[in-house]
Structure 1
């Protein structure tokens, strides 16, 4: 064989080998890709689910064996503080959605409040907090994982109107009644070392500090081009009123304190079936919980809604009258009566919360350019009308 023939055979062999390698590599790559589709690598949630034997622990709540669907996981929300996942488990030949809330490290006081509502308060409020299936401590650098019942948010199930307050208030009254005054103190050992209390030394000191900041920002805001226009008619009255603070209505405290949710917006209110006549309400996201005047939650539920929804303002007075009286009637079912007129108590709660917190936020946002102070005018209007009615100036 000549040298040329040897060289040609070598080149052909190398070319054939290269083509075969390409083909084999493609086949192997396709097989690997198909394997990933058929059996994708386990998510960290799936790994921890197995590592901590979650199926065995959660099955107690379902009364049968549960299996996690590794392919059906959806992250609903993630912030620097937490992540919320919607998972799916199979039990008794049915699929059940559940929620995993991951509290990221470090666990701050605010997160600790919510965690302890799940750890300690849920047995006291079983029908008002989603069922807690399992709490895992010390995951991934001191994270805390809470597996709980999935309760669909009211938001998204219907077009919310003020008529729907009537569906929520009975459950709100039940929450307050179960923890009203002595009912709370009878469970003092459950709450004493973690739940913020309105009249505690630390919360009172924080309220006084906020009050002083509000007065400082008011002095600055009167020279701010945009805010000055909004404050001109209210500035003198606000100075008179704020000098009476930070607690403007002792009657609110005398009317009674309860555990309040403190952020009663529709994303934080859950109901399995809004088509039912009576809603089975469960409240979601408890990081703002505290022991405070019970009427504050009525402001959180109704007052904040109308602050944002100008399209319903014409109905506000009628809705307030209806809802305040309904709340008082629901509390009466638990033997709780209010000496002061319910509508008056609602207005007191509204002004107290605006003057001790919301007014500061609006001035702070507007002065420091954080966001628009677009709620300020509505708050000032209420302070002017209701403040005079309630004798603040």
Structure 2
């Protein structure tokens, strides 16, 4: 009996101990979880921020000490090329958003263009590039981290209509005027080793190569019933015009070159206060930057918009008639005068860019069955009408 009693007591003690351990473990786990909510573990950004004393290096931009708010971080976008984080800091008793753009290794030519625009161009293009607070090289191997001013994208702030081109064009003209012709070459040592030039041997060869490919794919497209039906009425005219390339309008080159942004979609255009009549524009994402005919950016701004927005195409002519002279007038404020009619220059820039790149892209996608070619018909219409108007056929 004694032995059985001892055995029963042992079993009961073991059960009570197990229950008590489970309760203690649960309570400890709950405490740890609550502690993590209050003080979450530092992620890689927070750890590197402290390790590299980024706060000390950025403080001068704010005139006070800076603290990274570790719990307020958001990854806005991540691809195999880069990651964009929205951070928050506290300085002068106020909270400020900040962008961290991580350029992932390897740093190819396009990434290098954007990085060098941030490294070397802000003093040449004041107020047109987000303020760069800090650039840290060699992160996690060969990555580059760029801490910069957060500038809200125009996209999402307004329902964009062609009326807003009027708010963007003054800043675009300022970008072009500051780097127009001799103004660019006065800073040649800043750009010579990394910024693509429209007239360089490399660019010229690439243009000639694309020109030949466009002719080849135009003929290939005519062998496919679906594309042939869309191309047939334009084929002879388009081929006639292409034979005059790859440079179709010497007047466009004579009108002058500047640093162009080359990708003027609304996500790449920032403004702190769109409620103001005069927008203080800062351009974002500079990987397409190059020294090219300045009117190309007017195509990048307006031509691409109308190509994608069928709902506004009925207003395209009126917008061009308004905005091309506005751009010329803004350039004139910097002493730059165009000898050719601005509307004509815009149409030249449109056709040159479509023949250089956009038409080939549509034909290539269609022939190789890679993507939808829903812009092809619009480009063909403009090529036919403006090509005749400008004497290409």
TM over 0.5: yes
Deviation at 1:350, TM superposition (A): 0.1
Q: Tell me the CA shift for residue 225 of structure 1.
A: 2.0
Which residue of structure 2 lines up, in the alignment, with residue 339 of structure 1?
Answer: 339
Secondary structure of the corresponding residue to residue 230 of structure 1: helix
Structure 2 residue 115 is matched with structure 1 residue 154? no
Aligned to 2:185: 185
Residue in structure 2 matched with residue 13 of structure 1 by the alignment: 13
Paired position in structure 2 for 1:172: 172
Which residue is 2:109 aligned to? 109
**Residue of structure 2 equivalent to 1:202:** 202
Q: Any idea what the Cα deviations from partners look like across 1:193-238, whole Å, max 9, x if unmatched?
A: 0000000011111111111111111111001122111100111111
Query: What does residue 272 of structure 2 align with?
Result: 272
> In the TM superposition, what whole-angstrom CA distance separates every residue of 1:168-201 from its partner, at most 9, and x where no partner exists?
0000000000000000001000000000000001
Runs of 4+ in 1 over 6 A off after TM superposition: none
SS in 1 for 2:23: helix
Distance (whole Å) between structure 1 residues aligned to residue 254 and residue 32 of structure 2: 70
State the partner residue of 1:44: 44
Cα deviations by residue, 1:278-306 (Å, 9 ceiling, x for unpaired): 10000000000000000000000010111
Residue 34 of structure 1 deviates from its aligned partner by 1.2
Q: Look up the match of 1:223.
A: 223
**Match of residue 76 from structure 1:** 76
**How far off its partner does 1:118 sit?**
0.3
For 1:139 and 1:88, the matched residues in 2 are separated by: 20
CA–CA distance in 2 between the matches of 1:106 and 1:301?
A: 30
What count of residue pairs does the alignment treat as equivalent? 393
Q: CA deviation at 1:343?
A: 0.5
CA-atom RMSD, angstroms? 0.8
TM-score by length of structure 1 reads: 0.99
Per-residue deviation at 1:364? 1.1
Using the TM superposition, give the Cα deviation of residue 122 of structure 1 relative to its aligned residue in structure 2, in angstroms.
1.1
Q: Tell me by how many angstroms 1:3 deviates.
A: 1.5
Distance 1:72 1:161 in 2: 33
- Structure 2 residue matching 1:381: 3-state secondary structure: helix
CA drift of 1:167 comes to 0.5
Between 1:322-331 and 1:365-374, the stretch displaced more is 365-374
Q: Secondary structure at the match of 1:89?
A: strand
Q: Name 1:306's counterpart in structure 2.
A: 306
Map of 1:247 onto structure 2: 247
**Distance between the aligned counterparts of 1:145 and 1:301, measured in 2?**
29
Q: Could you list the per-position Cα deviations for residues 296-317 of structure 1 after superposition, in whole angstroms to 9, with x for gaps in the alignment? A: 0000001011111111111111
> What TM-score comes out, normalization by structure 2 length?
0.99
Question: Within 2, Cα distance between the matches of 1:320 and 1:64?
Answer: 47
5+ residue gaps in structure 2? none
Bigger shift: residues 234-243 or 127-136 = 234-243
Aligned to 1:34: 34
CA distance in structure 2 between the aligned counterparts of 1:370 and 1:53, rounded to whole angstroms: 47
1:100, CA displacement in angstroms?
0.5
SS in 1 for 2:106: coil
- Distance in 2 between residues matched to 1:280 and 1:128, nearest whole Å: 8
CA distance in 1, matches of 2:304, 2:49: 40
Equivalent position of 2:353 in the other structure? 353
Give the SS at the match of 2:373.
coil
3-state secondary structure, aligned to 1:144: strand
In 1, the alpha carbon distance for the partners of 2:259 and 2:153 equals: 21
Q: CA deviation at 1:384?
A: 0.3
Deviations 1:10-57 (A, max 9, x none): 111111111111111111111111111111110111011011111001
C-alpha distance after superposition, 1:47-99 (max 9, x if no partner):
11011111001111001111000000011111111111110000111100010
1:23 matched to 2:14: no
Q: Following the alignment from structure 2 to structure 1, what is the Cα–Cα distance between the partners of residues 335 and 39?
A: 59
In structure 2, C-alpha distance between the alignment counterparts of 1:251 and 1:361, rounded to whole Å? 25
**Distance in 2, Cα, partners of 1:26 & 1:79:** 40
Task: Determine if the alignment matches structure 1 residue 262 to structure 2 residue 262.
Answer: yes
Aligned to 1:238: 238
What is the DSSP-based 3-state SS (H/G/I as helix, E as strand, rest coil) of the residue aligned with 2:127? Answer: coil
Is 1:126 matched with 2:126?
Answer: yes
Helix, strand or coil: the match of 1:148?
strand
